[in-house]
C-alpha cells in the first residue's frame, strides 16, 4: 500500500510503507512466560510473481501470520490457497494465526468477523482482528503466536538441560537454541492479496 502510514511493529511507530518486494527481514525480542525470545520475522511479498520465493521461507518457520483485508473479499477468498502453501511447504507443527486486518475501516467491511472466525475454527487457526494503520492489536498478534509456539514446544524447559536430541528436534521445528541463550522463534507473516499472493504487516 504505497503512500500509506502503517504501524511498524519492529520500530513501534507509524511509518510510510510501500509494497514489499521479495522478502524483508526483521527481528524483535519479546517476553514470554518470563523468558526472552527473539522472533525472526519474514515479510513476504504480495505479488503472485514472488510466490515461489515465499514458499521457500515456510520450510524453516514454526509460526505464520496469514493476513487478509476485511475491506476486500477477494483477499479472504484466496486464504485457502495460501494456507495450502503453508501446509505443503512448511513445518508440520507450524502454528498459524489468521489476521483480519484493517478493522479500523469497519464501514467498508466486506468480510464479517463471524466469517473470519469460522474459517479459523474450521482450519484449526488462531484468529485476531488488527489495524496496521492504527497499530490496534499488532503487537498482540505477535505475542499470541509466540505464546502458542512457546507452549506447544515446551520452551519453558531449562535450555542448559536439553539433550542434543532435544535441541535437534527443536531446530527441526524452526527454533534455534544457543548455550545459555534464549530460544529463537522463527515466524514469517503472510498476507493474502487480490492477486492471491503474500505480504505482511
Average pLDDT for 63-77: 94
Domain ranges of the chain: 29-191
Q: Please, which residues bridge with residue 175 across strands?
A: 185
Q: What is the pLDDT, as a whole number, of residue 157?
A: 84
pLDDT at 79 over 90: yes
In the prediction, which pLDDT does 58 show? 80
Q: Is the pLDDT higher at 106 or at 24?
A: 106
What is the structure's pLDDT at 1? 31
Inform me whether the pLDDT recorded for 110 exceeds 60: yes
Pick the CATH number of 29-191 from 3.65.10.10, 3.40.50.300, 1.20.1250.40, 3.40.50.10580: 3.40.50.300
Q: What is the mean pLDDT of the chain?
A: 80
Whole-structure pTM value: 0.76
- Across the range 74-92, mean pLDDT stands at 90
* pLDDT of res. 12: 55
Does the pLDDT value for residue 201 go beyond 60? no
pLDDT > 90 fraction of the chain, expressed in percent and rounded = 43
Task: Report CA 34 to chain centroid distance, whole Å.
Answer: 22
Q: How confident is the model over 115-164, as pLDDT tens digits?
A: 999 999 999 999 999 999 999 999 999 999 999 999 998 888 887 788 88
What does the chain come to in residues?
A: 201
**Residue 122: predicted pLDDT:** 98
Alpha-carbon distances, residue 55 vs 91, 151, 198 (angstroms): 11, 26, 10
Amino acid at each position: 500500500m504505497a503512500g500509506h502510514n502503517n504501524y511498524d511493529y519492529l520500530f513501534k511507530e507509524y511509518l510510510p510503507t510501500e509494497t514489499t518486494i521479495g522478502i524483508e527481514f526483521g527481528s524483535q525480542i519479546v517476553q514470554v512466560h518470563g523468558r526472552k525470545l527473539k522472533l525472526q520475522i519474514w515479510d513476504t511479498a504480495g505479488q503472485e510473481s514472488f510466490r515461489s520465493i515465499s514458499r521457500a521461507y515456510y520450510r524453516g518457520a514454526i509460526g505464520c501470520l496469514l493476513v487478509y483485508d476485511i475491506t476486500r473479499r477477494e483477499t479472504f477468498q484466496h486464504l485457502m490457497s495460501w494456507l495450502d502453501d503453508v501446509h505443503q511447504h512448511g513445518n508440520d507443527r507450524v502454528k498459524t494465526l489468521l489476521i483480519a486486518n484493517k478493522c479500523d475501516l469497519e464501514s467498508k467491511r466486506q468480510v464479517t468477523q463471524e466469517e473470519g472466525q469460522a474459517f479459523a475454527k474450521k482450519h484449526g487457526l488462531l484468529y485476531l482482528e488488527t489495524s496496521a494503520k492504527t497499530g490496534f492489536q499488532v503487537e498482540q498478534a505477535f505475542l499470541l503466536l509466540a505464546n502458542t509456539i512457546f507452549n506447544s514446544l515446551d520452551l519453558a524447559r531449562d535450555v542448559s538441560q536439553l539433550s542434543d536430541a532435544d535441541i535437534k528436534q527443536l531446530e527441526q521445528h524452526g527454533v534455534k537454541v544457543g548455550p545459555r541463550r534464549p530460544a529463537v522463534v522463527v515466524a514469517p507473516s503472510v498476507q493474502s492479496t487480490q492477486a492471491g499472493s503474500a505480504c505482511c504487516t
